[in-house]
Amino acid sequence: MNRQFSGKAVLITGGATGIGRATALAFATQGASVLIGDVDARAAETAHMVEAQGGKAAFIHADVTDPAAMNALVDACIERFGGMHMAFNNAGVLPPQRPLHEVPVAELNLAIDVDLKGVFFAMQAEIRHFLKSGGGAIVNTASVGGLIADPDMAPYVACKHAVVGLTKAAAVEYAQVGIRVNAIAPGFVVTPMTQHWADSADFRQMFFAQNVSGRAAQPEEIAGTVLHLCSDAASFINGATFTIDGGQTAH
């Protein structure tokens, strides 16, 4: 079996369920040690799943809205696994859908704190380490909502557009010191966060009418792109946002 990440460690935020969990398991299958930072205790289950398949993993309760917690998370990865070579900044929230003029301040602030500042603070901590270690790869989770817009999702759309811009900014700043920064833009993926949409007949009818694939994605279908972007095969990919939407934005 090809274990392209043997001897390497990856830090993942938001690894409790969905895309984060699937990506943690995929990294472990390829030989990586996995440190998961999350406020969701289900991330401990993800770590146990990695260990059950023979991999190395650990879970640390960490809030991405706290810069000090992100610094500590990077330090913990280095201490536990001897280094940190890759990072997947996946933690995020999906605010309730409502028209822009009705969005409460608290919901806007939560989206900004987690979906934007959380990525920013994680990147700061990761980049500081990579500047000392000689480089590494970072992948941020944006969304098709970072490329296009849907009604009643203004805070989410704004923050995900910002993640795409932040990814480009970091790639430009650090390309010549061995740090690559890319993003993924998944379409509709069935996860606990989106299950309410998957359970809605009206939403499925609307979504499948505009998606040429006629279905939603599974988290495992997103993980492969993250691994590729962290691999040596992607050594000349930097500042890019990879759309993984089954053709949703292609027409």
Residue pair 238/182 in contact (Cβ under 8 Å)? The answer is yes
Which carries the bigger pLDDT value, residue 62 or residue 188? 62
Residue pair 58/15 in contact (Cβ under 8 Å)? The answer is no
Mean pLDDT of the chain: 94
- Residues composing the chain: 251
Which carries the bigger pLDDT value, residue 249 or residue 90? 90
Question: Does the pLDDT value for residue 188 go beyond 90?
Answer: no
Pairing between β-strand 136-141 and β-strand 57-61 as defined by DSSP bridges: unpaired
Residue pair 146/161 in contact (Cβ under 8 Å)? The answer is yes
Helix axes 154-174 and 118-133, enclosed angle (nearest 10): 10
Query: Cα(191)–Cα(84) distance, rounded to whole angstroms?
Result: 27
pLDDT band at 206 (very low <50, low <70, confident <90, very high): low
pLDDT band at 104 (very low <50, low <70, confident <90, very high): very high
Which residue of the set 156, 174, 197, 207 is catalytic?
156
Predicted local confidence at residue 190, as pLDDT: 76
For the question of residue 174 being annotated catalytic, the response is no
User: Which of 20-24, 216-220, 230-234 has the lowest average pLDDT?
Assistant: 216-220
pLDDT band at 198 (very low <50, low <70, confident <90, very high): low
Predicted local confidence at residue 214, as pLDDT: 77
Give me the mean pLDDT over the 105-130 stretch.
98
Predicted local confidence at residue 215, as pLDDT: 80
User: Which of 1-15, 102-116, 137-151 has the lowest average pLDDT?
Assistant: 1-15
Predicted local confidence at residue 213, as pLDDT: 80
26-63 pLDDT tens trace = 999 999 999 999 999 999 999 999 999 999 999 999 99
Predicted local confidence at residue 83, as pLDDT: 98
Phi, psi of 158, rounded to the nearest 5 degrees: -60, -45
Query: Cα(11)–Cα(82) distance, rounded to whole angstroms?
Result: 12
Give me the mean pLDDT over the 116-143 stretch.
98
pLDDT band at 159 (very low <50, low <70, confident <90, very high): very high
Q: Which amino acid is at 150?
A: D
Predicted local confidence at residue 114, as pLDDT: 98
Predicted local confidence at residue 251, as pLDDT: 72
pLDDT band at 191 (very low <50, low <70, confident <90, very high): confident
CB-CB neighbours of 79 under 10 Å: 10
- 120 burial (CB, 10 Å; 0-12 / 13-18 / 19+) is middle
53-91 pLDDT tens trace = 999 999 999 999 999 999 999 999 999 999 999 999 999
Both structure tokens of 233: 């095969």
Distances (CA, A) of 6 to 15, 46, 190: 20, 19, 30
